[in-house]
Structures are given as structure tokens and as C-alpha cells.
Amino acid sequence: MIKNYIKIAWRNISKNKGYSTINIIGLAIGLACCLLIAIYVQNELSYDKYHVNKDRIYRIVHDYKDISSTEQHQIWGNGPIGEAIKADFPEIEKVVQFSGQTSILLKQGDKRFQEENVFFMDSTAFDVFSWKVLAGDPHTALKNAYSVVLTESTAKKYFGDQNPIGKTLEGGLAAGRADAGLYTVTAVMADVPANSHFTFDALLSMSTFRNARPDVFNKEGWDYVDFYTYFLASKDFDPVKFDQKIPEFLKRNLPTNENPNAKYNFHIEPLLQAYMHSSADRQPGTNGSYQNLYIFSIIGGFILLIACVNFMNLATSRSMERAKEVGVRKTIGASKSNLIFQFMSESLVLVFVSSILAILLVMAFLPFLETFSGKHLNYSSLKDGTTWAIFLFTTIFTGLLAASYPALILANFNPITVLKGSYSNSKGGILLRRVLVVFQFCLSIALIAGTVVVFSQLDQLQHRDLGFQKDQRLVIDYNFDDKVNNNLEAIKSTLAKDKDVLSVTASRTVPGTFFPNAGTEIMSANGTMSQFAPFLYEVDVDFIPNIGLQMAAGRAYSRDFPADTVHSLVINESAAKQWGYSNPQDIIGKQFRQWGREGTVIGVVKDFNYLSLHRKIEPLALRLEPSSSRYLTLNIQHVNQPETVARIGKLWNELVPNRPFLYSFLDDNFNRQYEADFNFRRLFTAFSGLALFIACLGLLGLVTYTAQQRTKEIGVRKVLGASIYNLILLLSSDFIKLLAVALLIATPLSWMAMKKWLDNFAYHIEPQWWMFVFAGFATIIIALVTVSFQTLKAAKANPVDSLRDE
């Protein structure tokens, strides 16, 4: 019987090619989308799980509370805590600390590259983390000062196919820097897996840093922030008991001169929460978004549901064609269960064919998903057993769900009624099909509206007035090179002579790049010296006018005031408010102390968005410190930009032959913060478009079948004088009404969903009514275009053919 069921199923598929094609393509796209989304979600959830001791690795999260009781949580913290917790907690087996991400110019022969993704790291790194070492001893590789471990790809870049162990790389080239010196390659490791919450291209021994700055690791160095601290706990480690011991630990170890205006604490966070669940600032790498995973999972479910709805709609609408077959089968003894099993078998055959096509679609479009998502996804993702288990379950579930209602309907036909020819579609079946069509287009309208909102928000990110000028700013990265900083004014003057260069400034930071915090005391509104730790920009005298900052009070730094170099400070409006001055003019002339410097506040710049628009503008101090600069920012004219950049590059190579000409544009640097958002937009748009396409496929099938069922009615109306316009309106009006109902339902639901997504941005648009109206009209127009060919064909048909007796 099973063989017979499969044979009958295949005959029905072959006989009804149009109906079968729509179902197979719709289901295949739905299953392919689900598999692609499953691969993406699995990849996001797999971060850091390759470590052997992943369940026993934790990291320190540093908690800072200021006098206003505002608490901040940072992964980036002090150095002394590493040795202290190892000494005080026997349940900690190994501690590994590493610095903030470091940039270093490495040279080997005539090869030189500025490596941006480098860390100083303790020798215990390979005892805690499960990175694969290809050559060298992992236990001693980072033990000695000026040792370096290279990843495989970095080693090949410098040494090709040679064995690099024991060879040297010249690093730093900036006198006085901890990273300057001759490094010996002690090990080569496999490239860090892409599903790691932080990655790197090389590791420098932390002992190099410790030798250069021993003061920041001693018991008085708790205020110096530049390290990440991870540890491997014993198998019987209890996080709750550990947390209970922290207060006593801090009493024993914090220096006695702890800042009275701020409170320091810490807690621990499991490694497996680092990528997806951590909300702390100053991460060593990028973070994922659990919300985005939910959104894509829901979209995948929507797409599959739309495909299932198509199947159910078409199957129930065509039930009349199978009615006599059911009647005959029941008459000769087929039971209800036999019929249900038969129709379920037919459905599973369709789903099986669809699943094969879906796998082919996944293999074809996986590279596009990799590009859209910005993730390292490849065909090896298809080897994951969990992914295939999900796909198999989804395929079977889809087949059973899509076939359940049609099978039950067909199995319940009364054989006497259908064999008399008096059976017709029930009102219940018609109502169900209408409900399913409304459901389909509710989802489609919601996804289109969501796409409009996402595009509008990200358009604002690119075009919002940020309070500074980021266009036409050419940024040269020379990585703190002392040969540049010692001749800064001369180099700036030479570059400024170019006919297309309007101004030049130097700074440690530009918007979109790294910046530190600075413990700063300023006389508050109540007359006391209060300390906060605002973010810090170390700039030269030309920085404020060069990037177009506006003054809210006081003045900018000036060469006319020599005291500015050591006795003046400029802050932003948010910093003035933090010290209690709602009117920025009132803080002008107030005393300050910051990093060994004392003087008065001379100016307040208007708040500008130096952070991503995901975050509110934070307090900022702009310290005049050109000797700490890393970047030169050139304000250049728009005309002949490529020629200008080439000319400046040639001039740079003459002025600073020891440094490569590494440049970027300030707007690109800043927009790089939104890379994850733009990836989200691409994925959201692509999957939304697929959902609408599948919905339109189903609509096309329904309209085609409706036109076939109403052939005689159309013929009679044409004979009685109905125009083509009247007939098209007749065939389309029912669907337009259903789309209007879908719009009314989808609008409030999608508005609430997108409002929640927009809350991730400190500065966001408000969803507008026109966005949802646009989504509704777009859906209606796409639906009309979809059905227009079939309705026009039916309306133009010769009534003689349709009215001729069978």
C-alpha cells in the first residue's frame, strides 16, 4: 500500500504541474530559509564552545560607582587583581591576563606591516584557552620578555613556508613604548576560530609589558586600567560562594588611599556568556545580539508558516477534484485512517522533493549569507549534526502541519454525497482559506513595514548631524611613532602646504576609534573638588576647529595662550552637567586636576556624537597633549580626491620613510561602528523579500484556481456585457479586501515590534503612520501585479469555450 500511495502521489504531482511547482518552490524556499537561519543561529550560539574547559573559564567584570551612584561595568580593568585572586582563592587554578588591543609595526627584512589585532598576554594563556599550537612549546612560548606567538596566517605573511621558530621580528619603532624591541618567534598557532568573542593575529609576552611598567601591577596600581583578567576554576568551583568572598577580598587588597568619591567592586562572568549575554563595556572583541537571533528565528518561522499556509490553502481549495476519488475509495472499503495516511504520504513526497531542492538552494546561497551577515560561514557548517537534526525535524513537522488539515478534510467526505455530485466547498473551508490568506499577508506587511523602519533608522545613522564634521577628513595612522610626534609641527606645516589641504590636526583619538578614561577632579557646583572619570581625547591645538566642534562656553585651545599646554582643560556639555553645572558658562574658570596637571577649565564644547548613536553622549575631556598623538587628520577639499590622496601619500613617504602610509576617511571610521546594524538590515531585507515572494506564490495559485472554478461565471458575465475591467475587479476584489484586513491587523503589531527594536538606539526615529501605509500599499501592488496576468487571461478568455457543454 505504501508503494501504491507513493505512486499515486507522484501521479498527482505530475498531473498538476502548476499546483505542484508552486507548492514545491514555496516549501523549498521556506525550508532553505529556515536552514540558512539555523546555520546562522548555530554559529552565533557556538562562540567559545571549542575550549576544552569552557564551563570552568570565567572573567572579571569591574564595577565602578561614582558619587551620583551611577554604576558602570567594564571588562577592561586593573592589573593587580590577577595576582591577588590567584593568591587568595585556592579554587582558582590558573589566571591569564592580557592587555587592551595593541597596534604594532612589525618588520622582517623588507616586509613591514602594522598589525592592529595584537595583545600582550600571560604565559598561562594556553593552559586556560584551547588554542591549537602548531609549533613551539605552548607552556613556555610567552614566558620570556620579547617573545611573540604568531598565528599561522601571520607567520606566512612574514616568513612564507620557512620555519619561523627562533627567527626575530623588529617591533615598535617608538622609543619608550612597551612594545618597542626585537621579538623572537617562540611558537606558531592555528588561526583563532572565527567563533571566538575576541581574536588576534599575534601575541606578545606580558612579561615584556611587566618589565616596562612594573608599577601598574603592584598593590598601588588598582587605578591603572589596561587589562583583561580571565581564570580557570577548579571542577568543584561554586560561583555563588566565590561572590560571597569578594567584599572581604577587596578589604584586604584595595589600597588604603582608595578614592572616597567612587566605589570599586567586581563580579565574575562565565566565558560562555561573553559573546551573547554580556552587557559590560570595553569588551576585548565584538558582541552578538540575542535580540537579532530572536528576530531572525521568528522570520524563519514566519517564512515556513507562509509556505505551509500556501500548501493548506491550495490543498483545501482543490479538494473538489479529489472528492470523487475519496468517495470511490471509501465505497470499496478504505478506512478514514487509510485515507489520512494516503494524503499524508502525498504531502511528505512533496516535502521530500522540496527538501532536496532546499539543500541545493542552501549550498548555492550560503556564500551570500556569509557576505550579508559578515560572519565566517562556509560549507563546513553543513556538517554540524545539530543543524541537520533541526532541518530534519523542521522538514517532517512542515509536512505533517501542511498536510494535516487537508488530509482530515478529504478523509471526512461523505461518499454518497460526493458520488452524487452534490458536494461543494463548505463555508468553513472558505473561511479558513480567507483567514490563512489574511495571516500570510499580516506577516508580509509586518516584514515590509519593519524593513522600512530599519532603512529609515540606519539612514539617520548616516545622515544625522553629529555635532562635528566627518566628511572630507583624511586620517593618517602613524601609531604614536616618536619620530612623527617629535617633529609634529614641522610635518603638519609641510602637509598643510598642499593646495587641497585646508587644515591639519594631531590627536590620540578620532571619532570611531579607541579612547581611554581619565580620573579628573573639578570643583563642583557645591564648591568641593569632585572626581569622575570622563572619557578622554588627547588633542593638539588645532583639533577643535579642524573637525568643526562648536563652543558652548569659553574658548578653545589657542597658541596665543602658552599656559594652555599645562594649565587648561576643555570639556563637553555632558561633563559640565556631571559636575553639576546646567549652564556651561558657570564651569569656566573652575579648578581641575587631571593626571598630574592642574589649572582651570577654559572652555566647554557643545555635545557631539563621538560615540555610536546606540549610546547617549557621555562626559568627555579634551586634554591638550599633542605628544601622545597617534593620528593626523587632514581636512581636504572634495575636488580631485584620489589625486590629493596619492600626492599626500608620496609626500608622507618622503617625510616619514620609516612608516607606511596608512590612511582612512573619518566618516568610514565612524560608520564602522554600525557594521552589525547594516548586516542586520541586509539579512532582514532579504528574508522579508523571500517571505513576500512565497506569499505571492500562494496567492498566484489561489487566483489561478479561483479563475478555473469560475470559468462559466466569467463566460456568462462576458456574454451579458461585462468589461475586462469589471471581470478583473471581480476576481481581485476578494483578495484586496483580505489584504486591507491584514493591514489593519499588522500595523499595530509591527509598530510595537519595531518600537522595541528602536529602543536599542539612544537616538532613534519614531515609527510614522506612512511607513505602515506604504507597507500595506506595497503589498497590495505586489499582489495585484502577481495576480494581474492570470486575471487578465481569464477575463480575455473566449466565453464560447467556457460555456460549451462538457
Per-residue pLDDT tens digits for 749-797: 888 888 888 888 888 888 888 888 888 888 778 777 776 666 666 666 6
pLDDT digits (tens, 9 = 90+) for 746-757: 888 888 888 888
**Each residue of 513-534: pLDDT tens digit?**
888 888 899 999 888 999 888 9
Residue (of 31, 712, 18) closest to 314 by Cα position: 18
Band of pLDDT at residue 543, cut at 50, 70 and 90: very high
DSSP H or E stretch at residue 663: strand 663-665
Q: What is the structure's pLDDT at 433?
A: 67
- 342 or 560: which carries more pLDDT confidence? 560
pTM to 2 decimal places? 0.81
Cell of 631: 593620528
Strand 147-151 to strand 102-108: parallel, antiparallel, or no bridges (unpaired)?
unpaired
What are the DSSP calls for 382-403, one per residue? GG-HHHHHHHHHHHHHHHHHHH
Determine the average pLDDT of the residues in 644-651.
94
What pLDDT, on the 0 to 100 scale, is given for residue 325?
Answer: 64
More confident residue, 369 or 329: 369
Q: Please report the sign of the dihedral spanned by the C-alpha atoms of residue 47, residue 50, residue 56, residue 58.
A: negative
Residue 708: other Cβ atoms inside 10 A: 12
DSSP 162: S
Report CA-CA distances (Å) from 752 to 209, 216, 437: 51, 49, 22
pLDDT at residue 176, as a whole number: 46
DSSP state of 510: -
> What is the pLDDT, as a whole number, of residue 336?
64
Longest dimension (CA), the chain: 107
Residue type, 63: D
> For the ranges 11-15, 155-159, 206-210, 361-365, which has the lowest average pLDDT?
11-15
- Provide the 10 A C-beta neighbour count for residue 249: 16
| Rounded-to-integer distance, Cα 259 and Cα 256, Å | 9
One-letter amino acid of 527:
G
665 bridge partner residues: 474
* Phi, psi (rounded to 5 degrees) for 153: -65, -35
Per-residue pLDDT tens digits for 313-329: 766 655 555 666 666 66
The highest-confidence range among 369-383, 424-438, 496-510, by mean pLDDT, is 496-510
Q: Which residue has the cell 566565558?
A: 271
Q: Which residues contact 96 (CB under 8 A, 6 or more apart)?
A: 121, 122, 124, 125, 127, 128, 129, 229, 230, 231, 232
Q: Which long-range contacts (CB under 8 A, 24 or more apart) does 485-493 make?
A: 485/626, 485/627, 485/628, 485/629, 488/540, 488/626, 488/627, 488/629, 491/632, 491/655, 491/656, 492/542, 492/632
For residue 53, pLDDT over 80 is answered with yes
Measured in whole angstroms, the distance separating CA 32 from the mean position of its chain's CA atoms is 22
418 pLDDT above the threshold of 60: no
- pLDDT the model gives residue 261: 45
Alpha helices in 412-546 (DSSP H): 415-420, 427-463, 482-485, 488-496, 543-546
What is the rounded CA–CA span in Å between residue 723 and residue 721? Answer: 6
pLDDT, mean of residues 197-209: 94
pLDDT of residue 5: 59
**For residues 27 and 418, which has the higher predicted lDDT (pLDDT)?**
27
Report the alpha-carbon distance of residue 780 to residue 141 in Å, rounded: 65
Q: Examine the pLDDT at 15 and tell me if it is beyond 80.
A: no
Domain residues of the chain, as ranges?
A: 1-47+294-425, 54-273, 479-661
Residue 637's φ and ψ, nearest 5 degrees, are: -75, 155
- What integer pLDDT is reported at residue 175 of this predicted model? 42
pLDDT tens readout for residues 248-290: 999 888 876 454 445 889 999 999 999 999 989 889 998 888 8
Residue 483 and residue 478: Cα distance in Å, rounded?
Answer: 10
DSSP string, 395-432: HHHHHHHHHHHHHHHHHT--HHHHHHT-----HHHHHH
What integer best gives the mean pLDDT of the chain?
84
Of the candidates 36, 28, 34, 38, the residue with the CA atom closest to the CA atom of residue 697: 28
CA distances from 419 to 329, 407, 414, 424, 763 (A): 11, 19, 9, 12, 67
Alpha carbon distance 343, 433 (integer Å): 19
Q: Is 61 helix (H, G, I), strand (E, B) or coil?
A: strand
CB 603 within 8 A of CB 554: yes
- Once rounded to an integer, what is the mean pLDDT over residues 604-627? 94
pLDDT of amino acid 10: 66
Q: What is the mean pLDDT of residues 377-394?
A: 74
Query: Which is it for the CA torsion 136, 140, 145, 148, positive or negative?
Result: positive
User: Which of 352, 467, 434 minimizes the C-alpha distance to 6?
Assistant: 352
Given this model, what pLDDT does residue 646 score?
A: 93
Question: Can you tell me the distance from the alpha carbon of 27 to that of 358, in angstroms, rounded to the nearest whole number?
Answer: 8
- 717 pLDDT band (50/70/90 cuts)? confident
Q: Which of 357, 346, 350, 459 is nearest to 407 (CA)?
A: 346
pLDDT > 90: what percent of the chain? 40
Q: What was the pLDDT predicted at 618? A: 92
User: What distance in Å separates the CA atoms of residue 178 and residue 628, rounded to the nearest whole number?
Assistant: 14
